[in-house]
Structure 1
Amino acid sequence: MKRHAEPYILAVDLGTSGCKTALVSVTGVFAGWEFQEVPLHVLPGGGAEQDPEDWWNAFLTTAGKLMHKKLVPVEDIVGVCCSTQGEGTVPVDRDGKELMNCVLWMDMRGAKYLEQITRGPVNVAGYDPIRLLRWVKLTGGAPSLSGKDPSAHMLFIRDVFPDVYAKTFKFLNVPDYMNMRLCGRFAATPDSILTSWVTDNRNSAHVVYSPALIRNSGIDADKFPEIVPCDSVLGELKPDVARELGLKPGVRVVAGSIDTTSAAIGSGAVRDYEGHLYIGTSSWIAAHVPFMKTDVVNSLASVPCAIPGKYLMTILQTTAGGNLTFLRDKILYHKDKLLREEQAPDVYEIMDHIAEQVPAGSNGVIYTPWIYGERSPIEDRHVRASIFNLSLENSREDIIRAFLEGVALNTRWMLGPGEKFLGRKVTSLNIVGGGAKSNIWCQIFADVLNVAIRQVADPIEVNARGAAFIAAEALGYMKFEDAARYTAISREYTPLPEHRALYDKTFKEFVEYYHQTKDLYREMNP
């Protein structure tokens, strides 16, 4: 075995679709990775859950396969760090055993229970003004009225599953749960605890609980875990886990972060006001800034992140690449009597090829990507996806391109408030995530947003790379500013002038469609 010159991190990227475990050097070089899907359970009434045991088993399987390959000397693996989906809620007992499935970021069942803490005698946009001002002042944001935050999840569990609530020792977000399984410590990070809306975030380098916000939360104070920075060393990997994976004793577990935080580091956009666009199951635009700020109207804020003293402005889109997964699994290759192939081909690659052959504007077809409600720039849990302006002259090819354009149109809608928030025009974005592998989608984003799109090399590995960088910083191998020079850009896409007028017109129609139909969606999806 050839000796590698630098240490490696076992980086865990646990998303909604599954678990990827990678071996990444402290300068961002990938030795290899393994992936395993994790089942998603969609329930009536807006429910969405996953079994935490499925996460853990997927981690052990992927990490075990990776270690079996012997890609690097075992003594060079110095740390483990997780980047995971956020806004999940797992109640665990004193032994760390989960008491029910994780209530995921997609779950809206807690919306009506959240009203207990958000509403008052007088309400503005669904909030008691005094409570809203206190949240904004201390946290930089406020609970999502859609019910998708842990603040609502915990109330849902308290009121619907009182036996579970009574047995709960701590409520853990997804990375907190994984860290507890890795090293036995019950802890949260400033970004993982954020959407419980119980912390004072005015000093991002020292986030603490607010007694007043905890009292208002309706949740017992002792059910919240301790808060540590993202670049904290939580402890050593449990001996039994190290033995099972074939790791040496003393491998350290770094706290890590949720995916938005780690992607911001792994994208290389670490300097103030530099932005990245993440396209995965969901999507977001994010940029590090030196201030805490909130835009309640457009559901965006700058919140604590991995870099001490900095904040991360984040605008979230509920479903992005998830729309293509829906198109693949529920329409094109749904397992019914129409499906004759034993196994579907590489549908995403075929979609890219088809979309390249369709002219900009999809021959008039417009797709709205709100397939599970939306968070930004409008927060509306009633709205749903649609294909409109479809005629006999259109084809499946037009619909496929319209799906790609629809996600980009909603991203442009988010970008406007984001630029106002930053106080400057966004001229370029580093694009990462699985969707960034698509060259045609990168060009569509450049054309629709009218900004340069910088395609990060190995974009699908951004979260694992970000987790590795956080661990490398925590262990003293690099500084956060080094992430920019360790991140390669494979290609830059510039807006095509001939598409400007068309996409400006389509964008206006896209936004108008929402305003014309939002009341109908509310009636149809109460």
Structure 2
Amino acid sequence: MSYVIGIDLGTSAVKALLVDRKGTVAAETSRSYPLFHEHSGWSEQKPDDWVTATIEALRELVETEGVTSEQIEGISFSGQMHGLVLLNEAGDPIRNAILWNDTRTTEQCREIERTLGDTLLTITRNPALEGFTLPKILWVRQYEPEAFKEAKLFLLPKDYVRYRLTGELHMDYSDAAGTLLLDVAGKQWSQDVLNAFGLPASFCPALAESHALTGTLLDDVASATGLLPSTKVFAGGADNACGAIGAGILSEGLTLCSIGTSGVILSYENDKDKDFRGKVHFFNHGKEDSFYAMGVTLAAGYSLSWFKKTFAAGESYDQLLQGVGEVQPGAKGLLFTPYLVGERTPHADPSIRASFIGVDGSHERIHFARAVMEGITFSLNESVDLFRSAGKTVDTIVSIGGGAQNPAWLQMQADIFDATVVALENEQGPGLGAAMLAAYGCGWFDSLEACASQFVKHASSYAPQPEAVETYKGLFRIYQQVYAQTRGLNESLVAYRS
């Protein structure tokens, strides 16, 4: 039996999957690493902590009973997006990595908007947000000039780990799309953007397809992990792109709903000229010459965990949600907006906050729980609505994460999205997508679609119920009014949030 390894480099831990030719996960392991918040809004990690944790995780997988290093053919990666790793001439990091959830760069985002104007969306296809990489580069140049003088090249998190495993410097298109330096449709570093900010072309690594072979293991890494030096290492992709691959989102009409702490609606796109004018993200896919559009709800699963912690701290989620499926759509006229930490799509607003609208004396806790679940799904439906308004077909949605664990919530998604919702039998997220890129790169399959037909297994399916669909259409129109109606109130309350 042959195996590949998918490595998912997350914000809190690295997870590694050992996967066979049938798509069965033979073993998995993870290692955590610290996160540093030196100042409010800052979020950093030590790049070499990722490397140490990855090598330890690989070593444990190689020691899986019944598996030899000769049977492990390839490795690929999924990685947290946007994080800035700056390397000096010797190839060593000059400072900690600044992560995707670091918010110090508002000033630099406004600078990018002033400098590029409409060119920003034309070339990069995305607005300047604090999470992206270019604002971080400009921040280091402005506030740490001596350190920046040493910087010769930048990488993203997974690319640094791969570099330390192979000695080769690359970045795949799906991750490069989140830097604000890539011409997304043209699939090349934008000379116009580089020139606008005085950055040399040599500051950017070579670009590669996600399934491209980018090297083999260095001898010392092979020794430390127990793998063979000849083990093939492939470029990999951004976590959202790999999550889409791992869920089989590889053709037009297929959309992913992922409800974790935050929530993502991601839809496959094969038209590089589709223009959402920055209302949703538009990135290169891990599948060659393909793209995806993506909307984000900042407090998706977090809204439900907040509700549980606040009103049912001693109960399980099953206890909290018992009977939620028996409550009629609309939660008896109770509406919730999940703006606990601001919102991203379609309102990039850090100041807006959550609301319960329509509370009366007949409402019980179960109505509030249902309203929270509906509100999260309404927020995600904002992205579905934007996709459809731009002419996209959204008829099948693969649901993963916390929202796929509850049958009532899956039916709710089908009714609110007005689409068939499918759960997965073997949900493994971005790590499986990384493994699929390795399997494809190793030549096990002649396409990612063929790999998905073997690796991605659908479970239960939920069809929209016409009566509920009509109810939710009316409620969604009311939901869409809440942001504008409460924005001014929330801005007035900012001073009282200390």
Same fold (TM over 0.5): yes
Aligned to 2:336: 367
By how many angstroms is 1:77 displaced? Answer: 0.7
Question: Any conservation in 2 of the 1:289–1:302 contact (CA below 8 Å)?
Answer: no
Q: 1:41 to 1:403 in 2, by over 3 A?
A: farther
Q: Please give the alpha-carbon distance, in whole angstroms, between the structure 2 residues aligned to 1:253 and 1:276.
A: 27
> Which amino acid in structure 2 is aligned with residue 262 of structure 1?
C
Q: Matched residues in 2 for 1:362 and 1:513: separation?
A: 17
**Residue 190 (structure 2) pairs with residue 210 (structure 1):** yes
Counterpart of 2:350? 381
Distance 1:112 1:244 in 2: 43
CA distance in 1: counterparts of 2:466 and 2:101, whole angstroms:
37
In structure 1, runs of 5+ residues without a counterpart are 121-130, 334-343
Alignment partner, residue 52 of structure 1: 47
The 3 A distance-change label for structure 1 pair 298 and 513 is farther
What is the one-letter code of the residue matched to 1:142? N
Determine if the alignment matches structure 1 residue 118 to structure 2 residue 113: yes
1:453 to 415, 421, 446: 421
Cα shift at 1:254: 0.6
Superposed displacement of residue 71, structure 1: 5.1
- 1:412, CA displacement in angstroms? 0.9
Q: 2:237 is matched with which residue: 244, 257, 266?
A: 257
> What SS class does the counterpart of residue 429 from structure 2 fall into?
helix
Q: Does 1:134 align with 2:114?
A: no
Match of 1:466 among 411, 420, 433: 433
Q: Do the aligned residues in 2 keep the contact of 1:301 with 1:313 (CA within 8 Å)? A: yes
**Cα displacement (A) at 1:276:** 2.1
Q: Secondary structure at the match of 2:453?
A: coil
Q: CA deviation at 1:519?
A: 3.0
Residue type matched to 2:421 in 1? I
- The structure-2 alpha-carbon separation of the partners of 1:74 and 1:137, relative to structure 1 and needing over 3 Å to count, comes to same
Say whether the 8 Å CA contact 1:292–1:303 is kept in structure 2: no
User: In the TM superposition, what whole-angstrom CA distance separates every residue of 1:88-125 from its partner, at most 9, and x where no partner exists?
Assistant: 222233444434333222222211122223116xxxxx
Does 317-326 or 261-270 show the bigger shift? 317-326
Query: Does the CA-based 8 Å contact 1:151-1:195 persist in structure 2?
Result: no
The 1:298–1:196 alpha-carbon spacing in structure 2 relative to 1, beyond 3 Å, is: closer
Q: Which residue of 2 aligns with 1:304?
A: 284
Distance 1:263 1:289 in 2: 15
Letter in 2 for 1:285: I
Structure 1-normalised TM-score?
Answer: 0.84
Kindly tell me: are residues 289 and 326 of structure 1, through their superposed partners in 2, closer, same or farther at Cα, counting changes over 3 Å? Answer: same
The answer to whether the 8 A contact 2:396-2:420 is kept is yes
Whichever residue aligns with residue 412 of structure 1, its letter is N
Q: Aligned AA for 1:276?
A: L
| CA distance 1:251–1:155, shift in 2 (3 Å) | same
CA distance in 1, matches of 2:308, 2:218: 40
Shift of 1:22: 0.6
Q: Which residue of 2 aligns with 1:8?
A: 3
Aligned: 1:313 with 2:293: yes
Which of 158, 163, 182 is the aligned partner of 1:175?
158
Moved more, 149-158 or 17-26: 17-26
8 Å CA contact 1:182–1:237 kept in 2: the answer is: yes
What CA distance in whole angstroms lies between the structure 2 residues aligned with 1:370 and 1:473? 40
Cα distance between partner residues in 2 of 1:354 and 1:242: 53
What SS does the corresponding residue of 1:81 show, helix, strand or coil? strand
Provide TM-score, normalisation by structure 2.
Answer: 0.89
Q: 1:157 maps to which residue?
A: 140
Distance 2:335 2:470 in 1: 16
Report the CA distance shift for 1:244/1:15 in structure 2 as closer, same or farther (over 3 A): same
- Worse-superposed segment, 464-473 or 236-245: 236-245
Q: Residue 38 and residue 410 in structure 1: after superposition, are their counterparts in 2 closer, same or farther (change >3 A)?
A: farther
Distance change >3 Å, CA 22–CA 353, structure 1 → 2: farther
Alignment RMSD: 2.8
Give the 3-state SS of the residue equivalent to 1:196 in structure 2: coil
SS at match of 1:117: helix
Partner Cα separation in structure 1 for residue 320 and residue 57 of structure 2: 28
SS in 2 for 1:383: coil
* Aligned equivalent of 2:448, options 480, 484, 487: 480
Q: CA deviation at 1:329?
A: 6.2
Residue 499 of structure 1 corresponds to which residue in structure 2?
Answer: 468
Is the contact between residue 19 and residue 58 of structure 1 (CA under 8 Å) also seen in structure 2?
yes
Per-residue CA shift, 1:495-526, capped at 9, x if unaligned?
23343344233322322111112233345459
Q: Name the SS of the counterpart of 2:235 in structure 1.
A: strand
The reply to whether residue 143 of structure 1 matches residue 138 of structure 2 is no
Match of 1:337 in 2: none
The Cα of 1:27 is off from its aligned counterpart by: 4.2
Q: What is the alpha-carbon distance in structure 2 between the residues aligned to residue 349 and residue 61 of structure 1?
A: 35
Question: d(CA) in 1 for partners of 2:250 and 2:259?
Answer: 18
Contact map agreement 1:155 1:219 (CA 8 A) in 2: no
Residues 446/242 of structure 1: CA separation in 2 closer, same or farther (3 Å cut): same
Q: Deviations over 1:457-494 (max 9, x none)?
A: 222x0312211111122222211221342221111011
SS of aligned partner of 1:476: coil
* Contact persistence 1:369–1:406 (CA under 8 A): yes
Percent identity between the aligned chains? Answer: 26
Matches of 2:49 and 2:257, distance apart in 1: 29
For 1:135, give the aligned amino acid.
L
> 1:286, CA displacement in angstroms?
2.3
Partner of residue 166, structure 1 = 149
One-letter amino acid matched to 1:190: Y
CA separation in 1, counterparts of 2:32 and 2:406? 21
Letter in 1 for 2:119: R
Q: 1:338 is matched with which residue? A: none
Would you say the 8 A contact 2:126–2:278 is kept in 1? no
SS of corresponding position for 2:141: helix
SS in 2 for 1:23: strand
Deviation (angstroms), 1:296: 4.8
Match of 1:519 in 2: 488
Deviation at 1:391, TM superposition (A): 4.8
Shift of residue 454, structure 1, vs aligned partner: 0.9
- 1:253 deviation in Å? 1.2
AA paired with 1:505? Answer: G
